[in-house]
Structure 1
């Protein structure tokens, strides 16, 4: 074999190795889950008003940290404080340790020490859970884990929960227990 053949063979092998390396790098990038992507923007100590598809207010949000995912345009939040207006323009307040908001503000997933407070002037109910999903356009909140509903004088506990916020209706799905205590406040 002459020197031209040896150089050609070396170049072919180098091109083959380079092609395999590029292909593997692309596979790694494709396999990276959307929630692992670096945020395209980050907000610190902010107030945000989210609008739904029709341009009406879905919720108001205050939090110390928001990170937006560039792939699916969702937002992750630390210690958020939400206000959700119902169809009667009353404000339901909610807090949690963390939250995730879908790209069109159709769903809010709150996790860790979740609290949902009924509007002022109502029954002064507080719903407590470790996990709750709110659907602002439907004026609905749901949970599939244990929830405690506290009102002055009574505590209700159950597994599974649905609140129809515009109708002031709360439904506990199973394992419901009630405790009457006139000394209980919020």
Structure 2
């Protein structure tokens, strides 16, 4: 047998084995990491005070349970009570069955039986109820597109869509507004 033939067969065999190996070890998608669904930390029965950029109190939060999602660093809150100060230092109270807060704390979502109460002794006294509420603490704004009932001394306002500015104490309904006057003498 000729040495050139043996060398050619060896090179052919090496090329076939190299091609087969490259095919076998080609880029394959990495297996997906299983999400455990477990928080990376939990707070129980706590009160937390959040400061704004100037170091003043932006809001306070009291809740029996808060959990942080390790993937996006958002927070899930059970039965939160948010206290948001107005210009005179009195607190608006926002309650809900559940809540969610963004990783940076610049957005809060309250849902299921949301109740907001104005500060005692303020010029805007009343309580509003809705299904969900988005709160933007840095903008001193709370809003919803859901139905809202605002109860004030002597009147009940209902509408769909609502915005309230906690510092200026101004609110606005967006649509389908109905008002019912209830004088004190009729009660």
| TM-score, length of structure 1 as denominator length | 0.78
Distance in 2 (alpha carbons) for counterparts of 1:91 and 1:133: 18
Q: Show the 5 A alignment for 1:130-141.
A: 130-141=131-142
- Radius of gyration: which is bigger? 2
**Corresponding residue for residue 29 of structure 1:** 33
For residue 183 of structure 1, report the CA deviation from its aligned partner.
5.9
Say how many residue pairs are matched: 170
Distance in 2 (alpha carbons) for counterparts of 1:133 and 1:146: 13
Distance in 1 (alpha carbons) for counterparts of 2:168 and 2:50: 22
Q: Does 1:91 align with 2:116?
A: no
Q: Which has the higher helix share?
A: 1
Q: Any idea what SS the aligned residue of 2:33 has?
A: helix
1:75-118 Cα deviation digits (max 9, x unpaired)? 11010111011233221011001111122221111001001110
For residue 124 of structure 1, report the CA deviation from its aligned partner.
2.5
Any gaps of 5 or more consecutive residues in structure 2?
A: 1-13
Q: Is the 8 A contact 1:52 1:104 kept in 2?
A: no
- C-alpha RMSD of matched pairs (Å): 2.9
Q: Any idea what SS the aligned residue of 1:55 has?
A: coil
For residue 59 of structure 1, report the CA deviation from its aligned partner.
1.1
1:32-66 Cα deviation digits (max 9, x unpaired)? 6xxx8531101111111122344332211111110
**Corresponding residue for residue 156 of structure 1:** 157
Q: Is the 8 A contact 1:87 1:139 kept in 2?
A: no
Distance in 1 (alpha carbons) for counterparts of 2:87 and 2:113: 26
CA separation of 1:45 and 1:151: change in aligned 2, threshold 3 A: same
**Corresponding residue for residue 166 of structure 1:** 167
After superposing on structure 2, the runs of 4+ consecutive aligned residues of structure 1 that deviate more than 4 Å are none
**Corresponding residue for residue 41 of structure 2:** 41
Q: Is the 8 A contact 1:37 1:71 kept in 2?
A: no
